[in-house]
Structure 1
């Protein structure tokens, strides 16, 4: 038999053997039953059965793209992070956008926060900045997060999202009033991923070369301008193309219309945090810009689509505990909880070696540690490399230099509520946001809230939510109450 040379066009099994027939399964005679010895058939079916990994519990529906971040302004007085140390310096990035509550097959054009997860491939390791398109969130303590998400996801009995569950949780979480006002407002349904802002949302810490600490909030302002959809426009868009945001992002970059954002930060000297009028570590609150003005840092540009959505978007893993020297955490309770939860979610979904996948691996440096083995381990580090530290074989060693300044702590352990600052209540900033809106924006906000709240079956749940809007602003509460009553009387 003549020797057959495999070429790039030769179909092979996963072990590299050529496939003779990819159209017909092997059978016991013509028309007979299939044969267990058909390795190609069994491999194809077994692999097909395993093509789907568990979807993310939240942020399942996502899109992503590669690009770069370029420093435009000197911030070395606030952080010694290497990728921010020189004006003009560029760092490769990967950005994943997502909706939060729906499943992988959900529509893009829905009223929901949008994830804005950014991976910087820096020369000192990967830095993950995990945020949303809103500067605040519904809750401020991670112990409530599973309950919150359960209330927003599909009901165990009906199998669909239930207004009773959504609004019942919010009735018992008055701190959500600020984020509800954001979500139900005009920016609640972005027209595309390109036409929305991104926020770090949490409070982080920057440390400069002298060891001075600053608390920081990130603001990525879209250079395409804010564009949003009304509820009616979103319903039409979702019906025509459930993948509308994915389609828009993909096609824009393919045309060379590369979306960009300008990064600004708010910086608070660490010593000012204790006496600030709002708790600066409360994820349900913002720092007003008149207190801490925006300072420009750089420009984020997306210019390359992934070659494979599953490998590079679905398997992309972000964790806010991936810091680099000069950047660290704050006492933000939600951030502290996510430092564990995000990485643990990826260990469950993708395995303990998910950081070795191409989209997650460092690009401007190499990972060099003593982690070994586990599911899908891609190999060792040589026959003479040791898997313990310290050792006498010139293995990787610690630097002795913390990534950021230490956080001060005081008091006794326990399940404490966050300390109250002078303006710390659940409603003040929600009222401020309402009063900032134009009359037309306020009317749309009222209609959006009433549309959902009027579907709740229990009067006491409705009354509890109405009390929150009343506490934020008396006119706000009255108008929501009137709109809900009108819809329930129809």
Structure 2
């Protein structure tokens, strides 16, 4: 018999957890049975809306360690010295399927990383491919609708998927990636991760650089054929989750080496194609990889719902020295992700332990809302400016400005010499083996 006493939500001890209270033996239930009603009511409310994309995922804690000096490019404190470690949380995911889907499917994988830095949380929300299907966020709802269940048949329809792609030539590069040998990773441990978007770094001198992130797996690339994947799904639909969980429990901690490509801001204007186009990569011959550090995963979450399902990654969570570029898809995600979290988890989702800053304290004038738990001093005000020494803005958070040209309007991306949608897909195809082709 356990020495721990079962209680109600209010902490009162429970006398009987096996039998409901009734009016006499075999009679109807009693409305006064608080324990029964509380259990049923809470059970009805256990589930929250799943993510509209990236619903199925797995997470792990770890750390990021700087191995190379990048202070010439960014003033971000967590990248300020070799050997510095920052706690992290990562969430891997598939994209199109629902929470109850399978892991070993042909689909991009989410690679969302949260750095708990001393300047606040920095979220890098990427994928396992360096490009994406579209370059403008106005097409994103339509793209996802084509990937999700058809409103008539109630299932995913290949005709819908290919119909959208056929009318969206910018998808060609990502399609070539997806249907190549790396389209079905064998596990989350055996794939690369990419920031995918272009970001802006600013150094202490105020100089701006555009960067792309590359996380290279140290476990080697392993992928599945369509036949192998179908067999694995039949044996273990949770294969990626199983692999990640068991590897970390055994002490076989997966790791990735982070590299960046760095483009001086002035070179973006006249580069031969739009460097902010999410459907294209920067050739390594033009901007070689520069090593930054390593990511190590060494701890599994204690509760998947609390720490993985409720984890919220927002591309607009930047720290001083890192900011957005004019990448239109990134600009759209700056709003969409935070808005989705407020819908799924509430306006106070940043107070949840997995989302809250750990190396610093959030100080602002946000107040109240559903499930508000942050208690301040009686002298704290909910307005600014004030005379009570409340938190104030700082020049340390300033970043280099982005150059803007032309008039407002529904423009296509700026024209560059080589902006077509097919040449990089062709280059990737020609790098493939005959079997992969």
TM-score, normalized by the shorter chain, greater than 0.5:
yes
Aligned pair 1:322/2:294, yes or no? Answer: no
Q: Which residue of the other structure, out of 322, 345, 355, is the alignment partner of 1:360?
A: 355
Which residue of 145, 148, 154 corresponds with 2:143?
148
1:296 is displaced (CA, Å) by 0.1
Q: Secondary structure at the match of 1:98?
A: strand
Equivalent position to 2:83, from 83, 88, 97: 88
Matching residue within 199, 212, 237 for 1:217: 212
Residue 231 of structure 2, aligned match among 221, 227, 236: 236
Does residue 418 (structure 1) correspond to residue 433 (structure 2)? The answer is no
Calculate the TM-score normalised by the size of structure 1.
0.88
Q: How far does residue 8 in structure 1 lie from its aligned partner after superposition?
A: 6.7
Which residue of 285, 291, 298 corresponds with 1:296?
A: 291
Q: C-alpha displacement at 1:438, in angstroms?
A: 1.0
Which runs of structure 1 show a deviation greater than 6 angstroms over 4 or more consecutive aligned residues?
A: none
Distance, in Å, in 1 between the alignment partners of 2:309 and 2:400 is: 34
Q: 2:198 aligns with which of 179, 198, 203?
A: 203
Secondary structure of 1:440's partner?
coil
* Partners of 1:167 and 1:253 in 2: CA distance: 38
Q: Which residue of 1 aligns with 2:23?
A: 28
Q: Report how many residues are paired.
A: 436
- For residues 224-246 of structure 1, give each alpha carbon's deviation from its aligned partner in whole angstroms, at most 9, with x where no partner exists: 00000000000000110000000
1:260–1:301 CA contact under 8 A, matched in 2: yes
CA contact (8 A) 2:61 2:298 kept: yes
Paired with 1:134 and 1:95, the residues of 2 have a C-alpha distance of 16
Q: Quote the offset at 1:190 in angstroms.
A: 0.2
Matched, 1:437 2:432: yes
Partner Cα distance (1:251, 1:403) in 2 = 43
Q: Within 5 Å, which residues of 2 pair with 1:388-467?
A: 388-442=383-437
CA separation in 1, counterparts of 2:255 and 2:293? 11
Deviates more, 1:65-74 or 1:41-50: 41-50
Residue 72 of structure 2 aligns with which residue? 77
Q: Distance in 2 between the 1:417 and 1:13 partners?
A: 59
Question: In the TM superposition, what whole-angstrom CA distance separates every residue of 1:296-346 from its partner, at most 9, and x where no partner exists?
Answer: 000000000000000000000000100000000000000000000000000
Q: Is the 8 A contact 1:101 1:153 kept in 2?
A: yes
Q: CA deviation at 1:163?
A: 1.3
1:370 maps onto 2:365 in alignment: yes
Q: Distance in 2 between matches of 1:45 and 1:382?
A: 38
Q: Deviations over 1:73-93 (max 9, x none)?
A: 000000000000010000000
| 2:18 is the alignment partner of 1:11 | no
Structure 2 counterpart of 1:131: 126
| Among 293, 306, 312, the residue aligned to 1:311 | 306
Secondary structure of 1:430's aligned partner: helix
Q: Is the Cα contact below 8 Å between 2:319 and 2:397 reproduced in 1?
A: no
Separation in 1, partners of 2:34, 2:362:
37
Alignment root-mean-square deviation, CA:
0.8
For 2:89, what is the secondary structure of its paired residue? strand
5+ residue gaps, structure 1, are 1-6, 443-490
Given that 1:327 and 1:403 are in contact with CA atoms closer than 8 Å, whether structure 2 keeps it comes out as no
- The structural deviation recorded for 1:401 is 3.9
Normalised to the residue count of structure 2, the TM-score between the two structures is: 0.99
Alpha-carbon offset, residue 441 of structure 1: 1.2
| 1:206 match: secondary structure | strand
Q: Structure 2: how far apart are the matches of 1:403 and 1:32? A: 70
Greater fraction of residues in helix: 1
Partner of 2:265: 270
Taking the aligned partners of 1:367 and 1:42, their CA distance within structure 2 comes to 38
Find the aligned partners of 1:162 and 1:413 in 2 and give their Cα distance.
Answer: 38
Counterpart CA distance in 2 for 1:228 and 1:237 is 12
Task: Indicate the residue corresponding to 1:333 in structure 2.
Answer: 328
Contact 1:253-1:302 within 8 A present in 2 as well = yes
Deviation at 1:402, TM superposition (A): 3.8
